[in-house]
């Protein structure tokens, strides 16, 4: 089974900051990697899949990169609505797996 | 517009059973693989189960294999998760989630609002 390791588990940042979240797969998954954003009390929202393709309607300040085992999500200039929890997910094979999540908090 | 509406959650005793449902609308349900994903209170997301569009294939996480069964009724546009042998660590919000297209069943672009299952005596 493929395990996903996400870091950091939490990060404090200010509006306008650049933030990077990393995700590592326990084995190569090509670009079968998705990123989700979840706000309190809401279902997750798909941001990026495969590894670097923004979903329709996602602001261009979000970007994803990586392939194989190492991936990153970058938010270039944080906006107030970006403070949320972010999850990576391997979509290569069953059983599917999410990272532990990164909580992005306002400094 | 896609709508996924879960129902059937509640409080159940350890060792008990429960069936949760997900009614789908706004897309051709019979063409899409569907999954259940859960989230324990204050915790992260955990994929639980998947069922192929024609119900010919199912996959489960190790933590629920042998205890949970996913099924669907394409004539009713409804997805089910039958849970038995419930344990305290099964307590979570259970989301149904739709694959982004018929060929990509492992990434989810639409989710329901979730239904809360609490396992407690």
Query: Which pLDDT score is estimated for A104?
Result: 97
Longest CA–CA span in chain A (Å) reads 38
Query: Which pLDDT score is estimated for B74?
Result: 98
Arithmetic mean of pLDDT over chain A: 97
Q: How far apart, in whole angstroms, are the C-alpha atoms of residue A38 and residue A44?
A: 4
Beta-ladder partners of B95 = B37
Residues A52-92 have pLDDT tens digits of: 999 999 999 999 999 999 999 999 999 999 999 999 999 99
Query: Which pLDDT score is estimated for A14?
Result: 96
Contact B34, B99 (CB under 8 A): yes
Token digits of residue B92:
């979570």
**Set of chain A residues whose Cβ sits within 8 Å of the Cβ of B108:** 34, 44, 46
Query: Which pLDDT score is estimated for B108?
Result: 97
Query: Which pLDDT score is estimated for B117?
Result: 98
Interface test with A, best of B58, B107, B109, B110 (most A CBs within 10 A): B107
Q: What is the CA radius of gyration of chain B?
A: 13
CA distances (Å), origin B85, targets A94, B12, B82: 23, 10, 10
A44 touches chain B (CB under 8 A): yes
Q: pLDDT below 70 — which residues of chain B?
A: none
Contact A46/B100, CB-based, under 8 Å? yes
Contact A46/B47, CB-based, under 8 Å? no
Across A26-49, average pLDDT: 98
CA distances (Å), origin B3, targets A98, B28, B31, B70, B119: 23, 11, 15, 19, 27
Query: Which pLDDT score is estimated for B42?
Result: 96
Query: Within the 58-87 window of chain A, which residues sit less than 8 Å (CB to CB) from chain B?
Result: 87
Interface test with B, best of A21, A95, A98, A100 (most B CBs within 10 A): A95
Could you tell me which of B35, B48, B34, B42 has the C-alpha nearest to residue B90? B48
What's the full length of chain B, in residues? 121
Token digits of residue B70:
């996913």
Query: Which pLDDT score is estimated for A18?
Result: 97
Distance from CA of A37 to the nearest CA of B (A): 11
Q: CB count, 10 Å around CB of B105?
A: 23
Q: Where are the beta strands (DSSP E) in chain A?
A: 4-7, 10-13, 19-25, 33-38, 45-48, 62-67, 70-75, 85-90, 97-98, 102-106
Q: What is the DSSP letter of A77?
A: S
């Amino acid at each position: 089974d493929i395990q996903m390791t996400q870091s950091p588990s939490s990060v404090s940042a200010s509006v306008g900051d650049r933030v990077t979240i990393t995700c590592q797969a326990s084995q190569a998954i090509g670009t079968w990697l998705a990123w989700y954003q979840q706000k309190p009390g809401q279902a997750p929202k798909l941001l990026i899949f495969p590894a670097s393709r923004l979903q329709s309607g996602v602001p261009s300040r979000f970007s994803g990169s990586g392939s194989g085992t190492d991936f990153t999500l970058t938010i270039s200039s944080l906006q107030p609505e970006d403070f949320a929890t972010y999850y990576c997910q391997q979509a290569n094979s069953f059983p599917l797996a999410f990272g532990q999540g990164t909580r992005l908090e306002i400094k | 517009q896609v709508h996924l509406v879960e129902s059937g959650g509640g409080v159940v005793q350890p060792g008990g059973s429960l069936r949760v449902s997900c009614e789908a609308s706004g897309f051709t349900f019979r063409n899409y693989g569907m999954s259940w994903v859960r989230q324990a209170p204050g915790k992260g997301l955990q994929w639980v189960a998947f069922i192929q569009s024609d119900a010919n294939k199912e996959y489960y996480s190790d933590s629920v294999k042998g205890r949970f069964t996913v099924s669907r009724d394409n004539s009713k546009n409804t997805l089910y998760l039958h849970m038995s042998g419930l344990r305290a660590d099964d307590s979570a919000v259970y989301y149904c989630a739709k694959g982004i297209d018929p060929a990509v069943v492992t990434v989810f672009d639409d989710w329901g609002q979730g239904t809360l299952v609490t396992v407690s005596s």
